[in-house]
Amino acid sequence: MNIKADIAIVKKELIEHKGSLFFAPAILIALFFVLVTFQTLFLGIEDFDRDIPFHEVFIMAFMAGTAFFIIYMLITLFFYYADAFSADRKNNGLLFWKSLPMSDLRILLLKLLTGTIVIPLIILCWVVVSSVASYIIGVINYSDFVSFIAPWTALSTLLQLFVHLAVVLVIVLLWLAPFYAWVAMLSVFFKKWAIALAFVIPLVLITMEEIFSFDAFQSSYIGDFIEHRFKNIVDHSIGTDAAFNASMTSLDMDFDEGRNIHGATIFLERLPEMLWHFISHVRWMSLLAGLAVSGIFVYIGSEYRRRFIQG
């Protein structure tokens, strides 16, 4: 096992995608910081409930940053996988990697590992950076809040939110692994065309199934499977768990007409319970089956690359 070569492959992936992983998030956070600071210092904060403790706002800022960067990450990963498995063919780079004592399967698995673990951790770090920016904005406008939080309290809150989010994110990405592995496999065969074909091929198969099933386009096994894969990561019995639902009744984090977000600290307190409930209701057998399918896609791509792509 050549650990140095493994690390070199991961580093290469990060360097090749440094624009989307490092530069773009940094620019977005800088713009957010400048614009919000300008708004609060020079234009003021209108219709803001000043009875809300800053701790509540800080948690909500983390969640808002999380929502934004998760969407950003899912889009980034799609384009990453559409390029990663075929990028080695540029500038004769594939000849170098084939000269190493590493199989094509190992190289592609390392690329898959980079997209599943390393890149999400980088994006999570940007969520933390955006939260720190929010904290600094709060320090600048401390007079607008009824109470403030010390830096160590903010750090403790960030750590709790980060750990729980990381666990959920890993499970979700493992669940979505077949979709990303599908795009990655297509990139081995079709390079950049994989982006379009990732959608076109399923649509063609669904259309053919509908035509030959003679049921007036009422059902599609392929379409139902794809929909199920996106929606049903957890057992739906989670929604009928009376005990869990009763414990969540006091959790209210909606921005209503009175700007009420006082449920944020309750959300923080309930995170361990919510995380455990999520983990215990994940469809683990379906997740493992999806990982097996992902492995098949990667293996097919590696075999084609080994047998037919020389440089």
Residue 234 phi, psi dihedral angles, 5° rounding: -120, 155
pLDDT of 215 higher than 70: no
Worst-scoring range by mean pLDDT, 76-85, 254-263, 300-309?
254-263
Cβ–Cβ under 8 Å, residues 234 and 281: yes
Cβ–Cβ under 8 Å, residues 126 and 165: no
Residue 84: other Cβ atoms inside 10 A: 25
Helix (H) / strand (E) element for 231: namely helix 221-231
Residue 274: other Cβ atoms inside 10 A: 16
> What is the count of structural domains for the chain?
1
**pLDDT reported for residue 253:** 47
Sole residue written with tokens 């706002």? 57
Helix locations, 39-150, DSSP H = 54-84, 93-99, 104-113, 119-140
pLDDT of 182 higher than 80: yes
Cβ–Cβ under 8 Å, residues 151 and 132: no
Cβ–Cβ under 8 Å, residues 84 and 115: yes
| Most distant CA atoms of the chain, gap in Å | 68
- Encoding tokens for residue 27? 């620019």
The amino acid present at 61, given as its one-letter code, is A
Sole residue written with tokens 């080994």? 306
Residue 131: other Cβ atoms inside 10 A: 24
Q: What is the mean pLDDT of the chain?
A: 80
pTM score of the predicted model: 0.82
Start-to-end Cα distance in the chain: 24
**What are 93-130's pLDDT values in tens digits?**
666 666 667 788 888 888 888 998 899 999 999 999 99
Q: What is the mean pLDDT of residues 223-245?
A: 70
In the structure, what pLDDT confidence band is assigned to residue 212 with cuts at 50, 70 and 90?
confident
List of residues 6+ apart from 196 with CB closer than 8 A: none
Q: How far is CA 140 from CA 52, 77, 105, 129, in A?
A: 16, 35, 52, 17
DSSP string, 181-216: HHHHHHHHHHGGGHHHHHHHHHHHHHHHHHHHHTST
- Give which of 139, 122, 134, 114 is closest to 59, Cα–Cα: 134
Q: What is the mean pLDDT of residues 61-80?
A: 90
Which residue range forms the structural domain that includes residue 10?
3-308
pLDDT of 169 higher than 50: yes
Sole residue written with tokens 């063919």? 89
The amino acid present at 277, given as its one-letter code, is H
Return the CA Rg of the chain. 23
